[in-house]
Amino acid sequence: MKELNVKHSLISLIHGDITEIETDAIVNAANVKLILGGGVAGAIKRKGGPVIQEECNRIGGTYVGGAVITTGGKLKARYVIHAVGPRMGEGNEDNKLKNATLNSLKLMDEYKLKTIVFPAISTGIFGYPIERCAKIMLSMAKEYLEGNTQIDKVIFCLYTSSDFEVFEKELK
């Protein structure tokens, strides 16, 4: 695990399964309709149970760059923050990923939560390059933690060794 202290908080990297982490909130790389399909969302749906999708259905959706929060169902995480990252080719992708990261962190403060775990948003079927993702998400987390926040820890959980290595290189 690699770590970086930022003011009173910590950014850390782990290699593993985001659905197995005991934390205040994990982030789901969501779509605008908040339908839990494949990838991270599919794993959250399987392990968290139907309540998470039911809450998403009540919310109804959000915009690209937006984030909404539901309970964690049967997950070890208390909450799931559903952040919608960009699809490659739709335009203004970097800014949309910044907003998805920022809006997730703002929800943490709004709900007075201390620890959050992010996946590499948009790098799966949305086709966003992992190197750009690492650069944007880590810089947004660092910038946010330098401000006025009660967040203790921002963790990036990378499912593959290669993704972990990209984030580790960017964190240095």
Burial class (CB in 10 A: 0-12, 13-18, 19+), 102: middle
pLDDT at 91 over 70: yes
pLDDT of residue 70: 98
pLDDT at 146 over 90: yes
Per-residue pLDDT band at 126 (split at 50, 70, 90): very high
CA-to-CA distance for 47 and 22, rounded, in angstroms?
Answer: 13
Per-residue pLDDT band at 84 (split at 50, 70, 90): very high
Chain-wide mean pLDDT for the chain? 96
Instruction: Output the six-digit token pair for 23.
Output: 């934390």
- State the pTM of this model: 0.96
pLDDT of residue 38: 83
pLDDT of residue 40: 85
Instruction: Evaluate whether 108 touches 151 at the Cβ level (below 8 Å).
Output: yes
Strand ranges, E, within the chain = 2-6, 9-15, 25-30, 67-71, 79-84, 115-118, 153-158
CA-to-CA distance for 132 and 126, rounded, in angstroms?
Answer: 13
Q: Mean pLDDT across the stretch 114-124?
A: 96
Q: How many domains does the chain have?
A: 1
Instruction: Evaluate whether 83 touches 101 at the Cβ level (below 8 Å).
Output: yes
| Residue matched to tokens 């139907």 | 50
pLDDT of residue 1: 60
Q: Mean pLDDT across the stretch 156-172?
A: 96
Q: What is the pLDDT of residues 55-79, one digit of tens each?
A: 999 999 999 999 999 999 999 999 9
DSSP code per residue over 117-136: EE--TT-STT---HHHHHHH
Selection from 80, 71, 98 nearest residue 29 by Cα? 80
The range of the structural domain enclosing residue 79 comes to 2-171
Say which CATH number the domain at 31 has.
3.40.220.10
**Region for 122 from its dihedrals, namely left if φ exceeds 0, alpha if ψ lies in -120 to 50, beta otherwise:** left
pLDDT of residue 163: 97
Q: Mean pLDDT across the stretch 76-84?
A: 98
Instruction: Output the six-digit token pair for 72.
Output: 């964690």
pLDDT of residue 162: 96
